[in-house]
Each structure stands twice: as C-alpha cells, then as structure tokens.
Amino acid sequence: MGDKVKKAPSLKVALIPIVSMVVILFTGLFVYESDPHIPILLSATIAVIVALFLGYTWKEIEKGIVSGISLSLQALLILIILGTVISTWLAAGIVPTMIYYGLDLLSPGLFLPLAVIICSVVSVASGNAWTAAGTIGIAIMGVGVVLDFNPAMVAGAVISGCYFGDKISPLSETTNMAPGIVGVELFDHIRHLLYTTLPAWTISVILFFFLGMAHVPSADNLQDVALLQQQLQDIFIISPWLLLVPVTVLGLIAMRMAAIPGLVIGTLLGCVVAILVQGQSIGDILSMMVYGFSLESDNEILNNLLNNGGTEAMMYTVSLVMLAMSLGGILESTGILETIVNSLLKVAKSTGSLIATTVATCITANIVACDQYLSILLPGRMYLSAYRKRDLHPKNLSRTLEDAGTMTSPLVPWNTCGAFMSATLGVATLDYVPFAFLCLISPVIAIIYGYFNIKIERLAYEEKIDEDDGAITINPKLEQSI
C-alpha cells in the first residue's frame, strides 16, 4: 500500500495542540497544583489526535516521538550520572568542604553577586551550565541556605552565572551549535554575542548586589553558621585537598573532554575519597549512588543540605523530560511547529520585528518543543533566508538564537534545562524565574538592539543574495563552516 497523503497543517489546526497544552498546563499547575507530567502527557495525546487527522500513521507518529526523545538522551544520561556525582561528593566530604570554606569566604553582603561571578567563571571554563550547577552551584546553594537567603534568589544567581558560560564559552555545545547552523565562524559569533551578553550580565550582577546588600543576617543566623561549620567538622574530615576532585573534573572538561566521561571520572574520584578519607564502605557507596546520601542530625539545616543525590532522585526529572520531548517530537515531525513559525514570519516587516519574532519563536520552541537545542535549531533553520534577504549578517541570527533560545531554556519547568536546574538546585523552576536576571534580560536587550539598530551587522556585498535568481552567495569562510 502507498503512503497515505498527509495534509499540511493550517495555522488553525497547528494551534490546536499548542493552545490545548497551554490550557492543560495552566489548569494542572496553577489550579490543581499538580506536577507537570500528566498535563504534558494529555497535551501529547491531543497532538497525536491532530497528527492522525493530518494523515500520519501511528508508526510515523511513534517515529517522531522516538526522534524527539533521542535528542535528549545525552541530557538524560548527564542527569543520571550527576545524581551519582552529588551523592559520592557528599559522602566524600567534597561538597561539605566547599560549603565550609564558602561560609568563610562569602560575606552576606556580597554573596549573591559573587555567586554569579564564581558560577560564570566555572561555566566558561567547563562550557556547560549543568556541570557548573551540579558542582559549585550546589555548594553555593548550601551556603545561601546557611546565610538565610531565599533559596529561589540564590538559584537565580547560580543560573545567571551558569548560563553566562553556557552562552559564550567556546567549549559550550550551544555556543558551537548556533553559529554552525547559520554558517558563522565560532569566534565571530562569540564577539558579536558579547555586545548583548556583557550588558545583561553587568545589569544582573548589579541587581544581585542590591539584593544582597538588603539582606542583613541576624545574630542567630551568624551563630548558626559557626555551629554548622563545627558540625561539618565533627561529621567529615574537612580539608582543602578534597577540592582537588572538582578542580580535576572541571579541568578535564575545560580541556575538551566530553561531559559524560568527565562526570563519570568525578563519580569514581568521589568514591575513592569517600572510602579512603571518610571511611565509607563500598556497599554504602553503591547504595548512596542509587538512593542518595542520607544523614540524620539534630540540625535541620544540615539535614536539608546533605540529604541529596542518587540516580533515583533524578527519575522524576528524567520522566518529565521524556514526556516533554515526546510532545516536541510529534509537533516537529508533523510540521506543526513549521507552520507556526512561517506564520510568525509574515508579521516581521522590519529588522526589529524580525529579531523580536525570532526571540518569540525561540521562547515558544523552549515551551512547546521542550528542549534548548530545538529552540536553536528550528528558528535557525527557518529564519536564515529571511535574515539574508534583508541584508542582515547571519551572526545577528546566531546571536539572537542564544539570547533567546539558550537563555530562556531554564525558565520552563518541563524543558530539559528547567527540569534539570530545578532537580539539581532543589528549587521549583517557577520560584527562581523572577531572579534569573540574565536569562530574563538577554532577550529584551536583543529586541531593543533590533529596533534601535544597535550593533546590527549588515552583509558584505559578496555575501548578499543574488536578486536575479534568489541564490545565496556565501562567503567562502562561511561556506566551510556550514
């Protein structure tokens, strides 16, 4: 039998699963205060019904689902492995050591801006927001809790710093993906990206400085800090030598080792230190890697800080990501996302509106396709010709893809990045969103630059479109990078 003829989705049809998802998620999350898993599953069910109506078979829909999930497999593996890193580093006294010395070094008034700066340095070196959040980010969260900061505020500072590096580091996958899709050299992309990123980062640091200055720890709080440090010393062997483990892992990743083997090495080093230094048994370590590190003490703050990690703790997030990516796979494979993007493009009449439309598409892709990479890949593919037709250099597009796609990914609870950050830092995504200043400011600056023609680069003559036949003449250097 021949393949069944498939209908191209009209805008009205394409909006059915999108509007349904918004309604179902809003009702589930805010009316019934449920977890997002079942609302996402129901939304995917509606998307399947629409796909069947368009003429797709279940086999084809299933292929789209598998394709969507496959895009997140690396992220899921990192998430699972990070669960073992956290538990072994807790058992090894590595995270407690980071917290212990962090309480000495980070004064309450400068804690938040320093948290942004420290996470920025680590994420630039590692090229990965997840690695930075899962190592230094966890320690900073612990220090913030002891200093009596709002955990959502601390998480916002950690994420702002982590995504600074994820956005501009030459080691970052997204920093390489965005220019690669549109045919721009990596360091040309990074230089152009700094025009929007540095102002957003500076504003974020200033905002966190004022938030930190407004926080005055009580005398009881300062006593809690001293008590906590003493209890950490009573439970663990605290030594600056233990910090060689995270330094080694970050160094390996900075030297271009892939994140997964780097984190596995981190887990193994954590196991060795836990056994040889802290006296843990092999059986206990194996159990902790699955169920997490567990400690019962009379200090509730200490319990909250140290009872963490394990692969089991990550399964909530893994299941959410798989459901979300299933929905995204259906929407992309059936052309629903493409229809919506093409409709948005019709309203983009000026440079400012084109960049604003690109930002809106990236944000929509993060919400609907549920993945950071798709929020870069889809708009990058869709809008490249539109930028060229308006004599806009592709580096404007690659920059906007990062300003909006990379930056807004941790702001969506069911997105791979939002789910990961929430699970790793222990703060609900919607709680930290108001404080993720860098992520909120970056797309706004991108739009402002577009409307006011700030740092918008035009194509050189040899890169422009041949008006006669519509063919695109690409600079040889750009052509090599595509």
| pLDDT score for 110 | 86
CB crowding 338-348: b at 16 or more within 10 Å, else e? bbbbeebbeeb
| pLDDT score for 224 | 66
pLDDT digits (tens, 9 = 90+) for 252-295: 876 777 778 888 998 999 999 999 999 999 999 999 999 988 88
| pLDDT score for 324 | 77
Domain residue extents for the chain: 11-73+314-461, 83-311
On the 0-12 / 13-18 / 19+ scale of CB atoms within 10 A, 437 is: buried
Which tokens go with 133? Answer: 């959040």
Q: Which residue in this structure is represented by tokens 């998802």?
A: 21
Residue, of 241 and 223, whose pLDDT is higher:
241
pLDDT higher than threshold 90 for residue 127:
no
Phi-psi category of residue 93: left, alpha or beta, with phi > 0 → left and psi -120 to 50 → alpha: left
State the pLDDT confidence band at 479, using cuts at 50, 70 and 90.
Answer: very low
| pLDDT score for 24 | 87
For the chain, the straight-line distance linking the first and the last C-alpha, in angstroms and rounded, comes to: 38
Phi, psi of 392 (to 5 degrees): -95, 130
| Cα–Cα dist 110/108, whole Å | 6
Percent of the chain with pLDDT over 70: 89
pLDDT higher than threshold 50 for residue 467:
no
| pLDDT score for 219 | 52
- In DSSP notation, 41-67 reads HHHHHHHHHHHHHTT--HHHHHHHHHH
3-state secondary structure of 293: strand
Which tokens go with 5? Answer: 């003829």
Contacts of 348 (CB under 8 A, 6+ apart): 354, 356, 357, 386
CB-CB contact of 209 with 115 (8 Å):
no
| pLDDT score for 196 | 95
| Cα–Cα dist 443/28, whole Å | 28
pLDDT digits (tens, 9 = 90+) for 301-353: 677 667 778 888 888 878 877 887 788 788 888 888 778 777 877 777 788 89
Residue 476 CA neighbour count, 13 Å, CB half: 0
pLDDT digits (tens, 9 = 90+) for 33-80: 787 888 889 989 999 999 999 989 999 999 989 988 887 787 788 778
Do you know the residue count of the chain? Answer: 482
Within a 10 A sphere around the Cβ of 85, how many other Cβ atoms?
30
Contacts of 58 (CB under 8 A, 6+ apart): 52
| Cα–Cα dist 42/61, whole Å | 15
| pLDDT score for 375 | 82
Which range among 99-103, 188-192, 268-272 has the greatest average pLDDT?
268-272
What value does the mean pLDDT of the chain take?
Answer: 83
